[in-house]
């Protein structure tokens, strides 16, 4: 089994989900007392969030690239950046790593295409929905991406940062984000990419009427497949 490197803490709530799903996946594949061989570096998210708001992506990339090198030095054979939003700086990490960085957009696009869908809605932070890094990555795999309108983007962003990143899951927020999904469906979305790792704490398959593509789960599944190959 190869060692999976996790660069997380953005937020730690979703990184805890990564760790649990990773170990469950290895246990399910290998049985018995098997668990994932992994290393985790968890950053102080407050520092990263300040750089997001300031638009200083170059500095954020420098910090995360240094942390990615530390993850590799700890023995990682492949690296997961455990956040959608910070894939904005994925190229900065790839540039300093000698091991693969498994891109969350690539594994998500593969899952969508495997289901035969070509037009998907995207939910995530405002950064993820409004900046092109993930939309373009998905489009590069032949997918058409629909993002919510301005008010809906603000709603989803608020739920992520003010609630889910703090471990707060509210039924009224689940209903409100479900309504956003309904509006994406009305625009022709055939499925919805949960393009924020915290959103999997809020929405599951039974909560909305469209297929969901949970990026954390898909990222983990691809990592386990690579680690056990």
């625009």: which residue's tokens?
Answer: 187
Q: Which of 3, 38, 82, 83 is catalytic?
A: 83
What integer pLDDT is reported at residue 205 of this predicted model?
86
For the chain, list the domains and their CATH numbers: 4-103+217-228 (3.40.50.1860), 104-214 (3.40.50.1860)
Q: Determine the pLDDT at residue 206.
A: 86
Tokens matching residue 45: 């998210």
Q: Are strands 119-123 and 78-81 parallel, antiparallel or unpaired?
A: unpaired
For 82-118, give one letter per residue: b (16+ CB within 10 A) or e. Answer: bbbbbbbbbebbeeebebebbbbbbbbbebbeeeebe
**Predicted TM-score of the model (pTM):** 0.94
- What is residue 214's DSSP assignment? E
CA angle 108, 109, 112 (to 5 degrees): 90
Instruction: Tell me whether residue 196 is one of the annotated catalytic residues.
Output: yes
Q: Which of 38, 82, 165, 196 is catalytic?
A: 196
Say if residues 41 and 74 touch (Cβ distance below 8 Å): yes
Return the pLDDT at 28.
Answer: 97
> Is 83 designated active site?
yes
Return per-residue pLDDT of the chain as tens, 229 residues: 999 999 999 999 999 999 999 999 999 999 999 999 999 999 999 999 999 999 999 999 999 999 999 999 999 999 999 999 999 999 999 999 999 999 999 999 999 999 999 999 999 999 999 999 999 999 999 999 999 999 999 999 999 999 999 999 999 999 999 999 999 999 999 999 999 999 999 999 889 989 999 999 999 999 999 999 9
Cα torsion 206, 85, 153, 137 to 10°: value is: -80
């Amino acid at each position: 089994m190869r060692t999976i490197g996790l660069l997380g803490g953005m937020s730690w709530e979703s990184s805890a989900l990564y760790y649990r799903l990773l170990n469950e996946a290895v246990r399910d594949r290998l049985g018995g007392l098997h668990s994932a061989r992994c290393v985790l570096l968890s950053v102080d998210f407050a520092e990263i969030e300040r750089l997001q708001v300031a638009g200083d992506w170059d500095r954020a990339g420098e910090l995360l690239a240094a942390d990615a090198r530390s993850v590799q030095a700890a023995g990682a054979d492949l690296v997961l950046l455990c956040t959608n939003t910070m894939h904005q700086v994925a190229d900065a990490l790839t540039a300093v790593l000698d091991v693969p960085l498994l891109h969350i957009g690539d594994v998500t696009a593969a899952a969508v295409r495997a289901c035969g869908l070509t037009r998907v809605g995207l939910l995530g932070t405002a950064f993820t929905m409004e900046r092109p890094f993930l939309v373009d990555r998905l489009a590069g795999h032949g997918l058409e991406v629909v993002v919510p309108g301005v008010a809906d983007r603000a709603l989803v962003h608020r739920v992520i940062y003010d609630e889910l990143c703090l471990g707060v899951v509210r039924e009224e927020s689940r209903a409100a984000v479900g309504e956003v999904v309904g509006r994406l469906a009305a625009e022709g979305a055939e499925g919805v990419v949960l393009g924020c790792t915290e959103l999997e704490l809020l929405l599951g398959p039974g909560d909305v009427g469209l297929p969901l593509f949970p990026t954390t789960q898909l990222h983990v599944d691809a990592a386990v497949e690579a680690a056990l190959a």
